[in-house]
Structure 1
Amino acid sequence: MEPTRQSGRNRRSFVATGIAAGSAALAGCLSGSDSSETEIGSYTVSMAPMGEVEFDGVPEDAFVAFPQYADMAVALGHGDAVTTLFAPDMSGPTMDAFYERLEGVSFEWAGLQNPLENGLSEEQLYALDSDVHFLDPSYVVTTDDDWTASDIADIAETIGPWIGSFHSGVHSDPAPAYADSYEYYTLWELFETVAAVFRERDRYEALADLYAETRARIESNLPPESDRPTVARVTLGDGVFYAYHLNTPGFWQADTRPLGARDALADVEWPGDWGEVSYETMLEADPDVILHLWGITPRYAIEDVRQRLETDAAGSELTAVKNERVLASGMRYQGPIMNLFQLEMTAKQLYPERFGEWPGYEIGESYPEIPEDEQLFDRGEVAEIVTDGA
């Protein structure tokens, strides 16, 4: 007899082929029909490190932590399934800034609870009673000593499965319990898996095709490597810069790696997912351009960042500051829609002579208007895929 949820509803079935140490499987492997229509009947989705999970129907309630999965749900026409969101007052307005340029596309984020605000608890997950948890089990046990792989399996069995790959962000090491079964996925491979969960293969393929065309068009128009600027991707902290690489593997770099700029901090190493870089190190690297991560979120006003650098004795000596090339960059937690906009934004910021001038971004405003003949992807096509299906 199958276990049931505490609410008494039938759970979304879970096939335990390796939540702790099972074999890895191909992302987005879906048995049965690939139709974009909601259908009754069980189907399976495979992804490391979870293994193969079985659903008895399309999820109606989706636990989401990081916003890339909310963006994926919106892109697949299932944004109303999202019931939680990391830092909604930051993530929500940032997503809105992009969606306002897509007719008919929106996301109701106001009122969603931040599931990580006070630490993730089993009691919280039972109360939410979600059909699927879009969060990497390895992330949970790595960041919270109260969780074990056994606890993760219990939640999957009694409430709903886990789908996620946090460590694919920068190819960091997973928790020991999952190390033997872990695999790394690109942003668009993760999106393919989420599409399999929602049975929205047609929407995924249409957006993936549009992305491939957009990326190919950008890459074919890049200047020679010798003519590309040196770039530092950082967030300004208190006396330090929190630094990220541009061209290393991982979906956190999905909006910078395709552009092939020269990473000013390529030779600087750090042990974690990001590093702390001093003003002295930044002066030694002296990038042509500074991309300020999180610059399009409500947390940072790019004008304030520029002012802080201009009034600092060391910061004012940076070439990027002198040449007014300190620019608001995107979020590392980007889904497919966000990735399209952030790829366009970064292309214009780094190569205005190739892709048109970046008009700038003002905190609290929408993604800026781009003349139609200077847009790097078709907004109408994206909106039609999201709202009407492929």
Structure 2
Amino acid sequence: MSRETDGEHVSTRRRYLTYGAIVGSGMLAGCSGAMDSDGESTTTEETETTAATTEAEARTTDEKTTTAESGYTVSMEPMGSVTFESVPETWVPYGGDYADMGVALGQADGMTGIGQSGEYYTDVYDELPGVSVDKERVAANDLVEADMSKELFYEMDCDVHVIDTGMLRNWFDWSESDIEEIRENVAPFLGNMIFRRSDGWHDYRFYTLYQAFEKMAALFGERERYEAFERLHDEFVGKIQSEMPPADERPSVFLTYEGTDEPETFSPYRLTDKGTSKKQWRDLGVADALSGTGIENLSTQNRSELDYENLLEIDPDVLLIRGHEEKSAAEFRDTVLGYMKDHPVASELTAVRNGRVYRGGYLRQGPIHNLFLTERAAKQLYPDEFGEVTSDARLFDRQRVADIVNGDF
């Protein structure tokens, strides 16, 4: 859809009034104690569920949504305060985490595109009556497939872009003038990369999954839905934690990425990195098999890989491999685990011998995803308490989730 007048792009719709500076007080605030050390140990008491009270106490006045004279304001690093004159009707997220937040808040119909459609997993919605996403429509506007073309932003003509501008600068070589152009001519940016905390360029505040979710609820005016999800989440995870085995009986876990069916090398993830992609493992109180090894978390700067000899030195109780989310648990065991059992070196690993090699979960998860991934992880780690991962055991109420999404709560 072309909207050019005299050679200049002209927006047909303005849903925001003011925009906080990208560089300024917001970023400075994000540097003051917001970062967590990648090497810091994580205990059961530091899980996100147990930390819910701490999160609430940590919310400061400048982080809260405020009401402007002719609209409302949402404040989120690194963009600062963004004031909207009305609730956005159309929007585009970069990742599946924010996409899932929007679905949870009843905003699926307004999602116009996404950063990477192949990494947005929607199969879980099939288990929720009345919940769905038009994946074809969203995939038609894949930002990464379009090389993050500014023209696509003009064509989508969204009311808000739920994208961390730091990602645009550091991953896609956008300049400040590129960001300003789209902000001025199309719509503002609001978002924060939350799935990992190991990138040096992210020197502003991070958010936990539910802190970011709360910001999206403020954006869409869906506080009640957010609170309903928060209650469900806290009850669900709290019940699981009450039934977990003692800490000294829990397995050591190595989380990695390798997307092939015949893996030979593995990219390392540290569970002590407090990004949202590891939330279920922290909530389930597992020990990081890489603790004390000096091996760093995968990041923009670190692209190292480990081979089977390296894994034998670590020899984790459980091996979790990302990159296989389109497979069922049974398909994964037939292919990836089957290959490793026949491998002359991999077959020596404790996790392989005991059949404890599993899918590692999504890189970007939202609140609905997290419920399903936590259920799966509980069965992967503690089958005696919660059932085998290949079983149909359900640990949370699907209908209750669907009711919240559909506004019946």
State the TM-score bracket (shorter-chain normalisation): 0.7 to 0.9
Verify: 1:114 aligned to 2:142, yes or no: yes
Q: Which amino acid aligns with 2:365?
A: Q
Alignment partners' CA distance in 2, 1:276 and 1:382: 38
Alignment correspondent of 1:62? 91
For 1:33-44, list aligned pairs within 5 A.
Answer: 42-44=71-73
- Structure 1: runs of 5 or more not aligned: 34-39, 361-368
Structure 2: 5+ residue stretches without partners: 31-59
Partner Cα distance (1:346, 1:299) in 2: 14
Q: Which sits farther off after the overlay, 78-87 or 230-239?
A: 230-239
Alpha-carbon contact 2:320-2:359 (below 8 Å) kept: yes
Against the structure 1 CA distance between its residues 378 and 296, is the aligned structure 2 distance closer, same or farther, given a 3 Å change threshold?
same
Give the structure-1-normalised TM-score: 0.85
Preserved CA contact (<8 Å) 1:28 1:196:
no
Match 1:292 to one of 321, 327, 332: 321
> Equivalent of 1:306, from 313, 324, 337?
337
| Residue type at the aligned position of 2:129 | E
1:31 and 2:74 equivalent? no
Aligned to 1:37: none
In the alignment, the residues of structure 2 paired with residue 267 and residue 106 of structure 1 have an alpha-carbon distance, to the nearest angstrom, of: 43
User: Once structures 1 and 2 are overlaid, which stretch shifts more, 334-343 or 296-305?
Assistant: 296-305
| More off after superposition, 156-165 vs 13-22 | 13-22
For the residue of structure 2 that corresponds to 1:155, the secondary structure is: helix
Match of 1:9 among 4, 12, 17: 12
Q: Distance in 2 between matches of 1:8 and 1:339?
A: 36
Is this contact kept in 1: 2:78–2:205, CA < 8 A?
yes
CA RMSD of aligned residues (A): 2.6
Aligned equivalent of 2:178? 151
Q: Percent identity?
A: 37
Q: CA contact under 8 A between 2:321 and 2:358: conserved in structure 1?
A: yes
Q: Distance in 2 between matches of 1:217 and 1:233?
A: 24
Change (3 A) 1:19 1:314: same
Which amino acid in structure 1 is aligned with residue 348 of structure 2?
Answer: E
Distance 1:349 1:307, change over 3 A: same
CA shift for structure 1 position 89: 4.3
2:269 is matched with 244
Instruction: Verify the 8 A CA contact 1:316 1:322 in the aligned structure 2.
Output: yes
How far residue 174 of structure 1 moved from its aligned partner, in angstroms, is: 5.3
Map 1:225-244 → 2, pairs under 5 A: 225-236=247-258, 239-244=264-269
Per-residue Cα deviation, 1:3-49 (whole angstroms, up to 9, x for no partner): x994542312142322233425869622249xxxxxx9621100011
SS at match of 2:296: coil
- Structure 2 distance, partners of 1:90, 1:163, is 20
- C-alpha contact (below 8 Å) 2:90/2:158 kept by paired residues: yes
Rate the CA distance shift 1:271–1:208 in 2: closer, same or farther, 3 A.
closer
Match of 2:47?
Answer: none
Whole-angstrom distance in 2 between the partners of 1:271 and 1:388: 39
Secondary structure at the aligned position of 1:9 is classed as: coil
How many residues were matched structurally?
360
Q: 1:240 to 1:8 in 2, by over 3 A?
A: closer
Task: Describe the superposition over 1:183-241 as per-residue Cα deviations: whole angstroms up to 9, x where unpaired.
Answer: 01001111111111111010001001111111211222221111011111122355311
Task: Map 1:123-272 onto structure 2 (within 5 A).
Answer: 123-145=151-173, 147-166=174-193, 168-173=194-199, 175=201, 179=203, 182-236=204-258, 239-268=264-293, 269-270=295-296, 272=298
Give, in whole Å, the separation in 1 of the partners of 2:279 and 2:364.
10
Match for 1:209: what amino acid?
R
1:69-88 correspondence to structure 2 within 5 Å: 69-88=98-117
2: CA distance, partners of 1:139 / 1:150: 15
2:251 counterpart letter in structure 1: P
Cα offsets for 1:127-185 (capped at 9, x unmatched)? 2211111111001100122x12232133222211112211x32223453xx74xx1010
1:51 corresponds in structure 2 to 80
Preserved contact between residue 128 and residue 399 of structure 2 (Cα < 8 Å): yes
CA–CA distance in structure 2, aligned partners of residues 271 and 243 of structure 1: 6
Q: Which amino acid aligns with 2:142?
A: N
TM-score computed with the length of structure 2 as normaliser? 0.81
Distance across 2 between alignment mates of 1:169 and 1:158: 29
Would the alpha carbon gap of residues 137 and 14 (structure 1) be closer, same or farther in structure 2, given more than 3 Å must change? farther
Contact between 2:268 and 2:298, CA under 8 Å: does it hold in 1?
A: no
Give 1:20's match in structure 2, choosing from 23, 33, 36: 23
Contact 1:14/1:157 (8 A) holds in 2: no
- Aligned residue for 1:234, secondary structure, equals strand
Letter in 1 for 2:356: R
